[in-house]
Amino acid sequence: MEILVRPATETDLILLVRIFRACWLTSYKDILTQTVRDEMTQERANEMWTLSVQPHPDRTTFVIEENGVTVGMARVGRDITNGRRGHLFSLYVHPDNAGRGLGKILLRKALASLRETGFEEITLWVFKNNAPTRNLYSSIGFQETGQERIDDRWKNPEIEMLAPSKLF
């Protein structure tokens, strides 16, 4: 099995949207309402991810390939509320490839890139009722900060987590 983690390019957009929508529609079926999931159309997902594959000094999207097939992605960059911190904006592994450790490999690479950029702390937001993902983040050193929010788009409580970048 050959695993490669690399920065995404514009040619990856179609695959990123496919992976994102598969996660959104399948992995989040017990987390988000059907209405919220239905609102994430192909067009809306495409709009959301288009900027993620264009070069930007404050963010990078990584993809993970297994034997040449893109199976996941992670987007990291500067925390928009605290510019001294790095931030994990998203992490998705196609549901067909979940539970095999690929997400952890991708996550560690993406977080290491933030440490190498000079960030000493890294934040993320995760759906409060997404126990498997919260457990993944906790297992590598993230801790809940006590901050919560509800994004009007997702209509679901999220919690903030924080970790020192030296862990990655």
| 80-110 pLDDT, tens digit each | 999 999 999 999 999 999 889 999 999 999 9
Give helix 131-139 / helix 102-117 axis angle, nearest 10°. 50
| 51-85 pLDDT, tens digit each | 899 888 889 999 999 999 999 999 999 999 999 99
Cα 166 to chain centroid distance, Å, stands at 20
Q: Determine contact, residues 74/105, Cβ cutoff 8 Å.
A: no
| 121-165 pLDDT, tens digit each | 999 999 999 999 999 999 999 999 999 999 998 999 999 999 999
pLDDT at 61: 97
| Class of CATH domain 3-167 | alpha beta
Is the model's pTM score more than 0.85?
yes
pLDDT at 84: 95
Report helix, strand or coil for 126: strand
| 5-33 pLDDT, tens digit each | 999 999 999 999 999 999 999 989 999 99
- Whole-angstrom CA distances from 52 to 96, 108, 144 are 23, 19, 26
